[in-house]
């Protein structure tokens, strides 16, 4: 599937890469397998770049519209059991 990630051009290259890494972890949750703790670590890095809830919601919604993947639901699921390894249900 080809789509664009929600990126702010005011971010540094490193910040863009960290945001993309978070969304890659969300994709892995839906497409293959991923450690819950990895998602939480990537989410923590994401929150350093996007600390505001309103901006986070906007970025998550844009990503979901582009990819079909709900980042909020993934973060909520892994916060419950971060030690779990999550496998795609496909």
Those residues of the chain that have pLDDT short of 70 are: 1, 88-90
- DSSP character string of the chain: --------TTS-HHHHHHHHHHHHHHHHHHHSEEEHHHHHHHHHHHHHH---HHHHHHHHHHHHHHHS--HHHHHHHHHH-TTSEEE---
* 47 domain residue, yes or no: yes
| pLDDT, tens digit (0-9, with 9 covering 90-100), for 59-68 | 999 999 999 9
**CATH code assigned at 62:** 1.10.220.80
Res 37: pLDDT = 94
* Residue 7 in domain: no
Residue 86 is predicted with a pLDDT of: 79
Please state the domain count of the chain. 1
Examine residue 77 and state whether it is found in any structural domain, yes or no: yes
The predicted pLDDT at position 1 comes to 63
């Amino acid at each position: 599937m080809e789509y664009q990630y929600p990126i702010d051009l005011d971010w540094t290259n490193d910040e863009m890469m960290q945001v993309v890494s978070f969304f890659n972890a969300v994709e892995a949750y839906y497409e293959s397998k991923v450690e819950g703790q990895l998602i939480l670590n990537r989410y923590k890095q994401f929150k350093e770049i996007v600390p505001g809830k309103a901006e986070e919601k906007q970025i998550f919604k844009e990503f979901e519209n582009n990819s079909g993947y709900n980042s909020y639901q993934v973060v909520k699921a892994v916060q419950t059991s971060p030690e779990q390894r999550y496998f795609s249900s496909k």
